[in-house]
Structure 1
Amino acid sequence: MVNFRKYVSSVAVLASGLFLAQSTVSTVLYSQAYDNQKSNLNLPSPIAAVVEKTVLSAKELVDINVNTMMTDPVLKNATWGFVVYDPKTKKVISSYNENTPLVPASTTKLLTTETALNLLGENYRWMTQLEYSGSVDENGVLNGNLYVVGSGDPSLGTNKAGAWSYRDIVADFISGMSREGIKKVNGDIIIQTALFKGNISRLPENVVWLENNNYYLPVGTTREINPANEKLIVKKGNTFSGEKKFFYVSPYNSQMVFADKYEGDGILTTKLPDAPAFLANTLRATMIKSGLAVTGKVTPKMTDATPESRKLVSSYKSPTLGDIIYYTNQHSDNSLAEALLKTVGFQSKGDQTSESGRIVVTNHLKEDGFDMLGLNYIDGSGLSRSNNVTPISQVKYLTSLMDEKYYKTYLTSLPIGGQSGTLKRMFVGTGNGQIFAKTGTLNKVKALAGYMKTNSGKTLVFSLLVNNYSGSVDMVKKRMEKILEPALDL
């Protein structure tokens, strides 16, 4: 816990510092008047800052900034917690409300993505295969069925993390059929995957439906949906606004969904959780357009008591799990995080529910010695306001990962201050290239947790979670930078 003494340099000391440039001020005077200056939010003048640094340690400067923020109008009525931790000494350097359970927003993804790395390995890939049953006659007619066999690839068709587009996968499948001499299919295209079957997902409890005027739905049934058929239900936004807001309702499941991108003319780029179904329908449409006739329809077959003998035509490999986790954390991708939650549930429990995923993640955390007191893990992405974690448990958890063989991959997946991902516009000056952390943002929630490389070459671990602040997100970001920047001198 921070020792909230008030360190101030008197006017006399400041003045002497100006005239005695070659001497070092060795004492810090305490002024009772400082108590009456708590509401002064202006940053110190450059001269005062130089003198202050000559007489105060980096730790003291961190503590002072934390103390100042307690009376800052943006944070004084907020609930927030902070820890900066030395992984070598296993000691807290500075902290405030470190044991308070707080809404972590998307820093929840730190738990989800690490669990996936731990259980599956960074080189894990998903396979999506095209197979056929029956036989091909001398005229190139397949008297049998085509099978699209999925394995729950969360990146399928998304172009995320280097994943192929649906068009590229379909082209590869059709090339495979050509190699097999198939010119016509006298049968159905069957979707066969036990993973994520149904996918009739309601959002986790207390999830944020409306956030910054956007609606979010990370998963849901969107079988056989072409994005062009989605219905835009609000105008594109204020002409003078740089940020456009997009909404749509799926006519197939009557749920509100968030569109990632608006491309004009009523076309929306949407999330397609039922990717194998969309892939199979795209395959059939492309086959027909290219003159490769198919007599049957696209149909799902989740279970098969008497499976047909089948031959592999083509196989598509997803990007590695390491690549997908890099994309997930850099872009704070909610749909990928929720898919990873289901994936670890399936791999460990044999079913594809979010509940199984939550059990797997929390069991993994217990086995790794995570401080479960104050933890409430509800979803994989951090969209639920029912998620809770304490700052101290986050930093100790992040510290424990530094000994894992996949730590480099995990660290690399985190946005870098001033340089990449969701941290590109923070720490543009001081701290540029030195902060490696996951961000989190919900309405009146801002979070940041990860690692920092200090100016002396140390690696420190930190967590800064702010709930129910006043003002704008940018105002909170500035306060977060002010708290963390002196720690770079530790």
Structure 2
Amino acid sequence: MVNFRKYISGVTVLTAGFLLAQSTVSTVLYSQNYDNKTSLNLPSPVAYVEKAILSPKELVDISVNTMMTDPVLKNATWGFVVYDPKTKKIISSYNENTPLVPASTTKLLTTETAISMLGENYRWMTQLEYSGEIDENGVLNGNLYIVGSGDPSLGTNKAGAWSYKDIVSDFAGGMAREGIKKVNGDIVIQTALFKGNISALPENVVWLENNNYYLPVGTTKEINPANEKLIVKKSMNAAADKKFFYVSPYANKMVYAEKYEGNGTLTTKLPDAPAFLANSFRATLVKSGVAVTGKVTPKMTDATPEARKMIAAYKSPTLGDIIYYTNQRSDNSLAEALLKTVGFQKMGDQTSESGRVVVNNHLKDIAFDVEGLNYMDGSGLSRSNKVTPISQVKYLSSLMDEKFYKTYFNSLPIGGQSGTLKSMFLGEGNGQVFAKTGTLNKVKTLAGYLKTNSGRTLVFSLMVNNYAGSVGQVKSKMEKILQPTLDL
């Protein structure tokens, strides 16, 4: 909490300086050319006096104190801290120990856990294989297998990922190299990863993207819902609170939300990337003259697997590329897929619950301050997520010595230049603020690093919950709070 009393002794000096500055500035800048103007539009002399008398730290503290009574933030719950990672000391703060809803700054924890555990060069593999034998006429008497690994970018063009068309073309090229001209068998989709143990959504989660509720579980929003198998359209009962459900062909189990936010009745979707890829592949083969006698069929488990040979393999972009895309665009589906990936890699279980256990254990292992922490999902969509500003800055400071720090740092949007910060800090702070944004209804957050005018690297967290006014107004207030820190 900022103590304002220490500035009382400076008020007399400030007032005297203000009066002197008024006469001095007006004399120096006077010109007859301005006689007919109603306003000189000059910077306030107070600003010059403040900078001449007060230290940068004092200006930061005054900025924070001023915002306490601002109409936009006056009744909000908010916290702020700017921290020096070299001295490991707080420079200025307000409510730094208060647990707050972090929104998408939660992705800072998710993406760091993934890159720490898996490495920035980790890739997902999607393979085309075949069983049986190919006769002298190029007839495959066996099945084709598309074997996935839960690639969350499959077919999306995200982070440089290939489109479905490109992957299908590569797979078809592999078929030609093997001399396969006909398939007497099925195209089997075999991927248990991310497709089992689908359960009810957590309460109070806003699974909202592009006006549709969805399950961001290795999903790809570009898939046309018309190609999906919509088994259940509405709730089994005629309750007033209508709900829409979706069941994946991989698991004959209803996916639903007990509580959700938003206006209107929306659709819950679980786009099925492997199924879409397999059906597109089959259609392309048939169109090119390669007959397929069987059908596309999913196989979750196989007690007696056939011997298979690989035809082609598609590698996803690197995890470093995926994390860059995730943080720059605040991509919810990729963040949730990363959560499930670390859960599967560490515990052999692709559920969100396992992912949360892994992330929480990782944070404890690296001495994250878990006081006030409640990590509920990978994306930050849940309002049940909680974190304190001080824990965020100490965490971000600790990462500066990690071998993956450069990749992690480069994934963050840059003020006035890239990602979700492109429209903020267009003046002061342009190119100096490197941070993850977060936005929910009446929640706006920002956490990351900043380069001061003197060349220092500082770490900050600024989280505002339950503010008044518009998102634009609170963003403007956040910029005003952070601008004095650039002179530290």
Shift of 1:271: 7.9
Q: Could you tell me which of 176, 179, 182 is aligned with 2:180? A: 182
Structure 2 CA distance for aligned equivalents of residues 104 and 349 of structure 1: 27
Shift of 1:100: 0.3
Aligned residue identity for 1:16: L
Q: Tell me the equivalent position of 2:233.
A: none
Residue correspondence of structure 1 range 35-74 to structure 2 within 5 A? 45-74=43-72
TM-score normalised per structure 1: 0.85
Q: 1:48 aligns to what SS in structure 2?
A: helix
Structure 2 CA distance for aligned equivalents of residues 289 and 397 of structure 1: 54
Structure 1 CA distance for aligned equivalents of residues 117 and 339 of structure 2: 12
Query: Retained in 1: the 8 A contact 2:217–2:333?
Result: no
CA 1:226–1:107: 2 relative to 1, 3 Å:
closer
Aligned residue identity for 1:194: A
Structure 1 CA distance for aligned equivalents of residues 73 and 106 of structure 2: 22
Structure 2 CA distance for aligned equivalents of residues 450 and 221 of structure 1: 27
Structure 1 vs Structure 2 CA RMSD: 2.6
CA 1:163–1:95: 2 relative to 1, 3 Å:
same
Q: 1:33-72, CA deviations, whole angstroms, 9 ceiling, x for partnerless residues?
A: xxxxxxxxxxx95322122111111111111111111111
Q: Tell me the equivalent position of 2:90.
A: 92
Shift of 1:274: 2.6
Shift of 1:167: 0.7
Q: 2:81 aligns to what SS in structure 1?
A: strand
Structure 2 CA distance for aligned equivalents of residues 405 and 220 of structure 1: 29
Structure 2 CA distance for aligned equivalents of residues 48 and 249 of structure 1: 59
Residue correspondence of structure 1 range 59-138 to structure 2 within 5 A? 59-138=57-136
Residue correspondence of structure 1 range 158-307 to structure 2 within 5 A? 158-198=156-196, 200=198, 202-209=200-207, 214-219=211-216, 227=224, 229=226, 273-307=271-305
Residue correspondence of structure 1 range 384-423 to structure 2 within 5 A? 384-423=382-421
Structure 2 CA distance for aligned equivalents of residues 19 and 50 of structure 1: 13
Aligned residue identity for 2:226: N
Query: Retained in 1: the 8 A contact 2:81–2:96?
Result: yes
Aligned-residue identity in percent: 76
Shift of 1:12: 3.8
Q: Tell me the equivalent position of 1:3.
A: 3
Residue correspondence of structure 1 range 335-374 to structure 2 within 5 A? 335-374=333-372
Structure 2 CA distance for aligned equivalents of residues 335 and 166 of structure 1: 18
Structure 2 CA distance for aligned equivalents of residues 250 and 110 of structure 1: 31
Structure 2 CA distance for aligned equivalents of residues 273 and 79 of structure 1: 37
Q: Tell me the equivalent position of 1:312.
A: 310
Aligned residue identity for 2:214: L
Query: Retained in 2: the 8 A contact 1:129–1:314?
Result: yes
Aligned residue identity for 1:96: Y
Aligned residue identity for 1:17: A
Q: 1:196-233, CA deviations, whole angstroms, 9 ceiling, x for partnerless residues?
A: 1237354332112569x94442426989x9516289xx
Structure 2 CA distance for aligned equivalents of residues 481 and 451 of structure 1: 14
Shift of 1:14: 1.3
CA 1:150–1:119: 2 relative to 1, 3 Å:
same
Note the residue ranges of structure 1 that are not aligned, 5 or more in a row.
Answer: 22-43, 232-247, 258-269
Structure 1 CA distance for aligned equivalents of residues 455 and 269 of structure 2: 42
CA 1:370–1:208: 2 relative to 1, 3 Å:
same
Structure 2 CA distance for aligned equivalents of residues 226 and 394 of structure 1: 36
Query: Retained in 1: the 8 A contact 2:279–2:296?
Result: yes
Matched, 1:15 2:19: yes
CA 1:393–1:226: 2 relative to 1, 3 Å:
closer
Structure 2 CA distance for aligned equivalents of residues 393 and 356 of structure 1: 23
Structure 2 CA distance for aligned equivalents of residues 110 and 422 of structure 1: 14
Aligned residue identity for 1:64: I
Structure 2 CA distance for aligned equivalents of residues 176 and 383 of structure 1: 41
Structure 2 CA distance for aligned equivalents of residues 183 and 448 of structure 1: 56
Q: 1:103-126, CA deviations, whole angstroms, 9 ceiling, x for partnerless residues?
A: 000000000000000000000011
Q: 1:92 aligns to what SS in structure 2?
A: strand
Structure 2 CA distance for aligned equivalents of residues 88 and 453 of structure 1: 13
Q: Could you tell me which of 424, 430, 434 is aligned with 2:428? A: 430
CA 1:222–1:421: 2 relative to 1, 3 Å:
closer
Q: Tell me the equivalent position of 1:237.
A: none
Note the residue ranges of structure 2 that are not aligned, 5 or more in a row.
Answer: 26-41, 229-242, 249-253, 258-267
